[in-house]
Structure 1
Amino acid sequence: MIPGFGAAVRAAGSLVVQPRMGFADPAAMRAGLLATRDARATTVGTITVDSYTRVGDLAAARRAGASGTPLNGYPIATADPRATADVLAAAAFPVQVRHGSALPEPVFAAMAGLGLAATEGGPVSYCLPYSRVPLSRSVPSWAACVRALSEAGTDAHLETFGGCMLGQLCPPGLLVALSVLEAVFFRAHGVRDVSLSLTQQTSPDQDLEALHALRALAARFLPDVTWHVVLYAYMGVYPRTGHGARALMADAAVLAVRGGASRLIVKTEAEAHRIPTIAENVAALELAAAVAATTTPDPGPPADTGLLAEATALVEAVLDLDDDVGHALVRAFAAGVLDVPFCLHADNAGRARSHLDTDGRLRWSSVGGMPIDRAGVARAPRLSSTGLLEALGRVQRHYDSMEEDRRVLGDRPRAAALGPA
């Protein structure tokens, strides 16, 4: 019997690595899952859906399938369920569906028909940055889907995406809070096995502190839930060189192990250029696993710069707004208690601003109406479009400028904070 997704991660005993893989053709999807399963690493599988399915345009997904038009993922809601079932039976290991839907009913319905019980996202994190759907629609849609998933069986597993929202330039205290709040939302609707996400950002020291803060808040706010932490390799502008991409991926694996994450979502050398091949995904999985095997977890949390206190204040302020966490999330954004910098969604207040400091850390330059200590808000020049582009490209420039011979796995350097741009 194939174990549940969360159970498989917990039983692994080492860092579990996972690709973000989706192919429209069932034969290609099957080959990708088999290659993931057979990689020299501890892995779980992924079926990432296509963009039409993500936005609920199933008619367009059907037309593309009928005409042979290429899709950028697997059309799980319109594909022949027998073909999909054959793909899953051949792979015969835990698989998670990744989708990006603010209104995810078609995806959850397809999963139920296939007996799939693991997916990810959230009522906030798959609404604000990805869609024009109001939060007042996304929240009840997600609530109904989560309840249905939890009622379908004990293997239900949901992963928050809140720790990755616009993560390139969002101070991690807010990401930690959003990840915890979405996990609390899942718990409120019956799911008892969750994972909490966080993305690798611009400062290894700050990232490490954020991982420890996320684990501390999960232990506090999810006392009766089984949970683990999942780290995403950097989700911003990726290095264009092979050695730069490998270096960034290796540092993500180091960060995951040091910070106590159980699972790592990898990226590939092709990330800056195109959709990666199966072979490139496998290479990234095996690189991350090899680096993780040589890395030791940190014995305790790093120096406290106030990140945990900031995230705690945000979570508590939202939960104080309403006994129903879904209603509380809607009210929090309406009141500016939660405010994602650089997010243009109509339900986001848009008063918060952040910047990259000279030490590579993400810091607030304005917190709007969020309950964050203004004493810690740093003065910064108004961010121009040029400055924004420079900040977004900082990680890419840093890693591409490294010498290639420093990136050899056997001579892997320690992760280092990014210096001035």
Structure 2
Amino acid sequence: MSRADASPPSMRRWSDDRFDAMRRQVLAAWPTGAEVDLDEAAAYHRAQPPGKNTAHVLAQAREQRRTLVQPRAGVAEIEPQIALLSRLRAAGADLLPTTVDSYTRECRYAEAERGLAQSREAGRSMLNGLPAVNHGVRGCRRIADAVDAPLFARTASPDCRLTHEVMYAGGYTSCTAGPVVFSLGYAKDYPLARAIECWQYSYRMMGAYHERGVTLSVEHYLPISTLVPQSMSMACVILDSLIAAAQGVRCISLGIGQQCQLAQDAAALRAYPRLGRHYLDRFGFRDVALSTVMSQWMGGFPPDEGQAFGVICMAALAGYLGGVTYMISKSPHEAFGVPTAEANIHGLTASKMVLRMLADQRLAPIAEIAAEQEIVEAEVRAIVDAALDLGDGDAAAAAVRAVEAGVIDVPFSPHRSNANRALPARDWRGAVRLAEFGNVPIPEPVRAYHREQLARRSAGRAPREPWELLLADVNAIADGVLLPE
């Protein structure tokens, strides 16, 4: 959609008539949609202990300055999912995940139904997650009633409307994703404006729960983290958060992915609350509660188990230094495909151990973190402000127009609208900089700093093309180093 030939989306709050009209279509997409009753579901949530609500547990963690940990997990059938979550909870998981399968993420419920039948026949999961829509509200509540911690619906799709309806009505209290971050992170052809509309529906539904006394939460993070500058992912998250808040969402987690450079990761986490608060308050959303979240390294993991544990433990240290509210743990077997329950538990317990050991330590301020925080704040403000200018002050229009203009340019994004002109690389200390800026509006003093730091890495070495440096950096951690020779 170009600016010239189509109207951009608007962040304006939906009317009840618009929401209700779309809701009839959404709930009719699969038979289990008939199980959803928003008023009954809100009453179900209100009857639950506070410790099963994500917003409540995150508020406690922020007050206590404690970092929570959530692993990843999702299988096809209800009882095995309950057993898996019970094991993770016993191992110390503070927040419990349910990864949704790929068919459900693409709204292909008939194929998910076949995969569920094959799983039952095979006696093991033949899907890469839970087909929540097929199980329906009753199936999801079996999970919710069996655990004593908040449940996250971990989805990766530009259209999660029916999945959110079923899982929220089924007792889940948080979801992941967002239209900008997941369109640019996963989608190729799905129009960003359409993704924003689908997510506005989900956000408006969350707002309807809030109006009924139930605060639901959303976690926004860009699922591509390998060498994506933190400022770019943070700008996308802030736009998604403004779009969400406009529809009534009142609990948001601002997320980054670990880049494995301690100062830069910690600085991004420290900058997030102030940046998020600045933009939400600017739009009048002062009652939105903000948390921070970091996903452990989402790039290639080293196959050596000891080295993989090193990456995981470094994430816990970065999270501690950044004061993160919670983190998404990885396993030491990431290099080999979908991890086992045991491997996920090992990643969880390693993360928790590091956090416990750090909890009572009081470190002096670290100058390098403060310097990186100043840089990332300048970058984020420049990108978000330029986007909002393009959108005439509307965050939804800003997202579409900024992507079209290359102001938002996510390296390695599969989305056709993404410019892919910004080219990252690590500098001499392993921090992620931009070797080529494209149309990303980084202030000139900061650009000069990027160039200077990258030049220090290449000093005294044979000249290399930017793409050669990039390729080496992308594979470095899987090869057991941060900076390749």
Task: Return the TM-score normalized by structure 1.
Answer: 0.89
Q: What SS class does the counterpart of residue 264 from structure 1 fall into?
A: strand
What's the counterpart of residue 398 of structure 1? Answer: 480
Q: In structure 1, what residue type is equivalent to 2:257?
A: T
What's the counterpart of residue 412 of structure 1? Answer: none
Comparing 359-368 with 292-301, greater Cα deviation is found at 292-301
Q: Distance in 2 between matches of 1:137 and 1:42?
A: 35
What's the counterpart of residue 126 of structure 2? Answer: 70
Deviations along 1:332-353, one digit per CA (max 9) or x if unpaired, are 1112211112223111122211
Does 2:349 align with 1:286? yes
What's the counterpart of residue 6 of structure 1? Answer: 55
Q: In structure 2, what residue type is equivalent to 1:210?
A: A
What's the counterpart of residue 72 of structure 2? Answer: 20
Q: Distance in 2 between matches of 1:142 and 1:322?
A: 21
What's the counterpart of residue 388 of structure 2? Answer: 319
Q: Distance in 1 between matches of 2:370 and 2:224?
A: 25
What's the counterpart of residue 413 of structure 1? Answer: none
Q: In structure 2, what residue type is equivalent to 1:174?
A: M
Comparing 193-202 with 217-226, greater Cα deviation is found at 217-226
What's the counterpart of residue 110 of structure 2? Answer: 59
What's the counterpart of residue 213 of structure 1? Answer: 271
State which of 224, 228, 245 in structure 2 corresponds to 1:187.
Answer: 245
Q: Distance in 2 between matches of 1:290 and 1:175?
A: 28
Q: What SS class does the counterpart of residue 274 from structure 2 fall into?
A: helix
What's the counterpart of residue 226 of structure 1? Answer: 289
What's the counterpart of residue 407 of structure 1? Answer: none
Comparing 9-18 with 26-35, greater Cα deviation is found at 9-18
Residue 359 of structure 1, CA deviation? 2.1
Q: Distance in 1 between matches of 2:301 and 2:196?
A: 32
Q: Say what the alpha-carbon RMSD is for the aligned residues.
A: 2.0
State which of 285, 309, 331 in structure 2 corresponds to 1:268.
Answer: 331
Does 2:166 align with 1:122? no
CA contact (8 A) 1:48 1:99 kept: yes
Q: In structure 2, what residue type is equivalent to 1:105?
A: R
Q: Distance in 1 between matches of 2:236 and 2:370?
A: 22
Q: Distance in 2 between matches of 1:135 and 1:31?
A: 38
CA contact (8 A) 1:333 1:347 kept: yes
| Structure 2: stretches of 5+ with no match in the other structure | 1-47, 120-124, 456-463
Q: What SS class does the counterpart of residue 294 from structure 1 fall into?
A: helix
Q: In structure 1, what residue type is equivalent to 2:220?
A: T
Q: Distance in 2 between matches of 1:117 and 1:93?
A: 10
Q: In structure 2, what residue type is equivalent to 1:135?
A: L
What's the counterpart of residue 365 of structure 1? Answer: 435
Deviations along 1:255-277, one digit per CA (max 9) or x if unpaired, are 11110101010000111102122
What's the counterpart of residue 227 of structure 2? Answer: 169
Q: In structure 1, what residue type is equivalent to 2:209?
A: A
Q: Distance in 2 between matches of 1:25 and 1:42?
A: 21
How many correspondences in the alignment? 399
Q: What SS class does the counterpart of residue 66 from structure 1 fall into?
A: helix
Structure 1 residues 44 and 82, CA, compared in 2 at 3 Å: closer, same or farther?
Answer: same
Q: What SS class does the counterpart of residue 279 from structure 1 fall into?
A: helix
Structure 1 residues 110 and 388, CA, compared in 2 at 3 Å: closer, same or farther?
Answer: same
After superposition, residues 135-150 of structure 1 pair within 5 angstroms as 135-150=192-207
Task: Return the TM-score normalized by structure 2.
Answer: 0.78
Residue 372 of structure 1, CA deviation? 0.8
What's the counterpart of residue 48 of structure 1? Answer: 99
What's the counterpart of residue 332 of structure 1? Answer: 402
Q: Distance in 1 between matches of 2:343 and 2:404?
A: 43
Deviations along 1:298-320, one digit per CA (max 9) or x if unpaired, are 56572324221011111122222
CA contact (8 A) 2:422 2:437 kept: yes
Structure 1 residues 340 and 45, CA, compared in 2 at 3 Å: closer, same or farther?
Answer: same
CA contact (8 A) 2:425 2:469 kept: no
Deviations along 1:30-64, one digit per CA (max 9) or x if unpaired, are 0111122222x351100110011112211211121
CA contact (8 A) 1:232 1:266 kept: yes
What's the counterpart of residue 215 of structure 2? Answer: 155
Q: In structure 2, what residue type is equivalent to 1:218?
A: G
Q: Distance in 2 between matches of 1:229 and 1:297?
A: 21
What's the counterpart of residue 31 of structure 1? Answer: 83
What's the counterpart of residue 343 of structure 1? Answer: 413
CA contact (8 A) 1:2 1:94 kept: no
| Structure 1: stretches of 5+ with no match in the other structure | 400-417
CA contact (8 A) 1:117 1:149 kept: no
Residue 90 of structure 1, CA deviation? 0.8
CA contact (8 A) 1:259 1:297 kept: no
Bigger Cα Rg: 2
Q: Percent identity?
A: 30
Residue 141 of structure 1, CA deviation? 0.9
CA contact (8 A) 1:170 1:362 kept: yes
Q: Distance in 2 between matches of 1:369 and 1:278?
A: 44
Q: Distance in 2 between matches of 1:246 and 1:310?
A: 32
Q: In structure 2, what residue type is equivalent to 1:7?
A: H
Structure 1 residues 147 and 394, CA, compared in 2 at 3 Å: closer, same or farther?
Answer: same
Q: In structure 2, what residue type is equivalent to 1:351?
A: R
Q: In structure 1, what residue type is equivalent to 2:418?
A: N
Deviations along 1:70-100, one digit per CA (max 9) or x if unpaired, are 0000111112543332122111321110010
Deviations along 1:261-300, one digit per CA (max 9) or x if unpaired, are 0101000011110212222222221211111011146565
CA contact (8 A) 2:71 2:93 kept: no
Q: What SS class does the counterpart of residue 419 from structure 2 fall into?
A: coil
CA contact (8 A) 1:2 1:93 kept: no
Q: What SS class does the counterpart of residue 308 from structure 2 fall into?
A: helix
- Higher helix proportion (structure 1 or 2): 2
Q: In structure 2, what residue type is equivalent to 1:77?
A: V
